């Protein structure tokens, strides 16, 4: 039986990622990767980053873990991992040379290494641009690696005892499992160079994201556990919102991606409660589908892959090539990313070889 609430929650979260990147691209809080804000004063629109960042990517990994459990119940581990490799590793390795060079080029235009890179031979520049323009594709690179780890963990639990034990978990232990979020964030490097290797470790956060991925597979794939969060979603959401408001009020102005911020108890409480509340809400209220939901279910992955190309190109042009006010820049970029991303995806998926490289789709 298809769990439509999982599909719906996944594509809604992807749309939130698109909106997050609109705000993030112009943030002035020091978050690495954007092109800077509009002056030194407070940008209150950046509050979107504080609201979404603690939970939306961990939630995607939880949903990926749940989906992995269902998929592995229908096919062999070998076939599943082969499909994962095509869908995840191909777009994030081969596909970057078709999609990411423009993003990397824009990154260098606004970065300190612009002049030194401009003096390099063309093929070398293209290679640098492609690799540095990976952007949000770190997510699918991480997911491929964690899929490999999952197969190893499954081998270790070949008798299914861990799976059975996780299916018995109750409401209180489920809430307190949020401590694993905090433990995961302790693996981050506290003193970093965002552009260096330790910055990449903190971006990919493999240990941290392994935790929600395995939770999705072993814990939240059980119907019983899904029913628990479904019944408790309203108090979970209230507690999440209260903690989120306190976190935002006390942390606004800081770089909300720094390890010190992420590893704070309040950030982890909010992030975990929001993951539980969103799953419970969608399990209870959105376990159905329709024409638009069906389209987004099959298309959100491709939209995610291509959307940052729109963010980078349109976002750069709006800020540096026009004299528009920030309000119109945000508005136009938001419209652009939500309209052009699906259009680009629809074009790419109709070109056979490019479709395989960029989307990991055979047909």
Q: Is the pLDDT of residue 268 over 90?
A: yes
Residues 6+ positions from 88 with CB-CB distance below 8 Å? 140, 141, 143, 144, 147, 360
In angstroms, the CA 352 to CA 333 distance is 29
Task: Give the tens place of pLDDT for each residue, 64-76.
Answer: 999 999 999 999 9
Closest CA to 54 of 257, 324, 312, 260: 257
Q: Are 62 and 275 in contact (CB under 8 A)?
A: yes
- Phi and psi at 51, nearest 5°, equal -75, -40
Q: Confirm whether 109 is domain-assigned.
A: no
In angstroms, the CA 83 to CA 77 distance is 10
- The one-character DSSP state at 358 is H
Residues 6+ positions from 37 with CB-CB distance below 8 Å? 26, 27, 28, 29, 43, 46
Q: Are 163 and 89 in contact (CB under 8 A)?
A: no
Q: Residue 200: its pLDDT value, please?
A: 85
The whole-number average pLDDT for the span 37-49 is 92
311 is written with which tokens?
């963010």
Q: Residue 122: its pLDDT value, please?
A: 84
Q: Residue 8: its pLDDT value, please?
A: 98
Q: Residue 113: its pLDDT value, please?
A: 67
b/e sequence 328-343, b meaning 16+ C-beta within 10 Å: ebbebbeebbbebbbe
The torsion defined by the Cα of 73, 75, 76 and 79, in degrees rounded to 10, comes to -140
Q: Which of 69-73, 189-193, 220-224, 340-344 has the lowest mean pLDDT?
A: 189-193
Radius of gyration of the chain (CA): 20
Q: Label residue 118 by pLDDT band (50, 70, 90).
A: confident
Q: Give the count of domains, the chain.
A: 1
Q: Residue 345: its pLDDT value, please?
A: 98
Q: Residue 199: its pLDDT value, please?
A: 78
Q: Which of 12-16, 126-130, 225-229, 293-297 has the lowest mean pLDDT?
A: 126-130
Q: Confirm whether 117 is domain-assigned.
A: no
- The one-character DSSP state at 136 is G
Task: Give the tens place of pLDDT for each residue, 219-262.
Answer: 999 999 999 999 999 999 999 999 999 999 999 999 999 999 99
| pTM tops 0.75, yes or no | yes
Q: Confirm whether 107 is domain-assigned.
A: no
Task: Give the tens place of pLDDT for each residue, 9-37.
Answer: 999 999 999 999 999 999 999 898 889 99
Q: Confirm whether 106 is domain-assigned.
A: no
Q: Confirm whether 102 is domain-assigned.
A: no
Q: Is the pLDDT of residue 110 over 90?
A: no
Task: Give the tens place of pLDDT for each residue, 162-183.
Answer: 999 999 999 999 999 999 999 9
Q: Residue 39: its pLDDT value, please?
A: 83
Q: Are 88 and 144 in contact (CB under 8 A)?
A: yes
Closest CA to 27 of 340, 356, 263, 253: 253
The whole-number average pLDDT for the span 127-144 is 94
Q: Which domain holds residue 88?
A: 4-26+42-92+134-359
Tell me how far CA of residue 26 lies from CA of 41, 311, 329, in angstroms.
13, 10, 10
In angstroms, the CA 100 to CA 340 distance is 16
**If you average pLDDT over every residue of the chain, what do you get?**
94
Task: Give the tens place of pLDDT for each residue, 68-107.
Answer: 999 999 999 999 999 999 999 999 999 999 999 999 988 8
Q: Confirm whether 111 is domain-assigned.
A: no
Q: Are 211 and 150 in contact (CB under 8 A)?
A: no
Q: How many CB atoms lie within 10 A of CB 51?
A: 21
Q: Confirm whether 108 is domain-assigned.
A: no
Q: Confirm whether 34 is domain-assigned.
A: no
Number of helices and strands (H, E) in the chain? 21, 0
Does an H or E element contain 194, and which? none
């Amino acid at each position: 039986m298809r769990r439509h609430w999982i599909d719906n929650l996944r594509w809604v979260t992807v749309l939130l990622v698109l909106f997050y990147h609109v705000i993030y691209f112009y943030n002035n809080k020091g978050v690495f990767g954007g092109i800077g804000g509009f002056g030194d004063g407070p940008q209150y629109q950046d509050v979107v980053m504080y609201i979404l960042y603690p939970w939306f990517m961990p939630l995607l990994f939880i949903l990926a873990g749940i989906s992995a459990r269902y998929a592995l119940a229908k096919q062999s581990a070998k076939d599943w991992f082969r499909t994962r490799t095509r869908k995840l590793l191909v777009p994030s390795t081969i596909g970057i040379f078709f999609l990411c060079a423009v993003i990397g080029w824009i990154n260098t235009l606004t970065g300190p290494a612009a002049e030194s890179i401009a003096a390099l031979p063309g093929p070398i520049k293209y290679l640098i641009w492609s690799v540095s323009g990976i952007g949000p594709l770190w997510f699918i690179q991480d997911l491929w690696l964690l899929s490999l780890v999952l197969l190893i963990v499954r081998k270790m639990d070949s008798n299914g005892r861990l799976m059975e034990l996780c299916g018995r978990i109750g409401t209180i232990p489920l809430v307190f499992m949020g401590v694993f979020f905090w433990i995961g964030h302790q693996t981050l490097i506290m003193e970093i160079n965002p552009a260096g290797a330790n910055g990449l470790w903190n971006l990919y956060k493999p240990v941290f994201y392994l935790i929600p991925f395995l939770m999705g597979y072993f814990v939240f794939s059980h119907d019983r556990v899904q029913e628990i969060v479904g019944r408790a979603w309203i108090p979970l959401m209230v507690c999440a919102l209260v903690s989120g408001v306190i976190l935002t009020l006390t942390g606004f102005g800081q770089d909300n991606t720094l390890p010190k911020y992420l590893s704070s108890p309040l950030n982890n409480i909010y992030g975990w409660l929001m993951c539980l509340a969103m799953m419970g809400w969608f399990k209870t209220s959105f376990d159905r589908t329709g024409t638009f939901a069906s389209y987004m279910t099959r298309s959100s992955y491709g939209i995610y892959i291509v959307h940052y190309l729109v963010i980078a190109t349109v976002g750069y042009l709006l800020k540096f090539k026009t004299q528009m006010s920030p309000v119109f820049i945000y508005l136009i970029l938001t419209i652009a990313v939500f309209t052009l991303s699906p259009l680009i995806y629809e074009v790419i998926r109709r070109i056979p070889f490019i479709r395989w490289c960029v989307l990991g789709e055979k047909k």
